């Protein structure tokens, strides 16, 4: 069993059970954080998320996680993986339900899909991802693999080099991001069968520095 201490951040917005069950299947003993102080003892951290950006950043702030995450990510430089809303919270700001500031780890904005495209929103179900730049979580995985998405908004990164995987849903959007040891997935790897589990496994086990 992997002996790294993996923290899963509980801020009231994530599907914690599906993430922790996936880690259990990978032989990883994860810890659902009880508060911001728990981050100090974690080797790697996962920020899951389901729901609205405004509620997500509000909950992180009210529960005292923003300063603790900044210390963990920006000061200590430790690895973090944002899943779905978790990745969106890494951005500077979001236009979902108004304009709200994010954690600011990735320069850019969370935007809505263009309703003029006539697509069903949210984007829900299986879709293919094309890996377009090096990322230790996806290097060597074949393109054309499908992953499970549930989201009505997507991230628009100011720095194109931080986008390492893209998906098409009427328009192209970032499905995988990376900046240093800050990793993001718009899809749910814990619901994406073997390839999704492989990506989670790499975050847990791969040398990332």
What residues act catalytically? 84, 188, 190
Are β-strands 182-185 and 171-179 bridged in parallel, bridged antiparallel, or unpaired?
antiparallel
Number of helices followed by number of strands (H, E) in the chain: 5, 13
CA dihedral 182, 187, 191, 194 (to 10 degrees): -70
Strand partners, 50: none
Helical H segments across the chain, by residue range: 16-25, 53-62, 65-70, 85-88, 193-205
Q: Mention every residue, 6+ apart, whose C-beta is less than 8 A from residue 158.
A: 107, 108
SS (H, E, C) 187-204: CEHHHCHHHHHHHHHHHH
Q: How far apart are CA 127 and CA 147, in angstroms?
A: 6
């Amino acid at each position: 069993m992997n002996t790294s201490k993996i923290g899963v951040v509980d801020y009231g917005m994530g599907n914690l059970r599906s993430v922790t069950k996936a880690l259990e299947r990978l032989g990883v003993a994860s810890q659902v954080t009880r508060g911001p102080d728990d981050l100090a003892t974690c080797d790697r951290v996962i920020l899951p998320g389901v729901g609205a950006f405004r509620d997500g950043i509000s909950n992180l702030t009210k529960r005292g996680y923003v300063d603790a995450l900044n210390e963990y990510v920006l000061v200590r430089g430790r690895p973090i993986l944002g899943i779905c809303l978790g990745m969106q919270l890494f951005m500077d700001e979001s236009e979902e339900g108004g304009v709200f500031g994010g954690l600011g780890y990735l320069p850019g904005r969370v935007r809505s899909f263009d309703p003029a495209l006539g697509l069903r929103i949210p984007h829900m179900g299986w879709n293919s991802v094309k890996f377009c730049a090096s990322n230790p979580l996806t290097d060597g995985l074949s393109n054309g693999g499908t992953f499970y998405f549930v989201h009505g908004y997507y991230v628009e990164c100011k720095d194109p080099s931080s986008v390492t995987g893209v998906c098409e849903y009427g328009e192209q959007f970032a499905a995988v991001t990376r900046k240093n040891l800050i990793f993001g997935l718009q899809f749910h790897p814990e619901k994406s069968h073997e390839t999704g589990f492989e990506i989670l496994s790499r975050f847990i086990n791969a040398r990332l520095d």
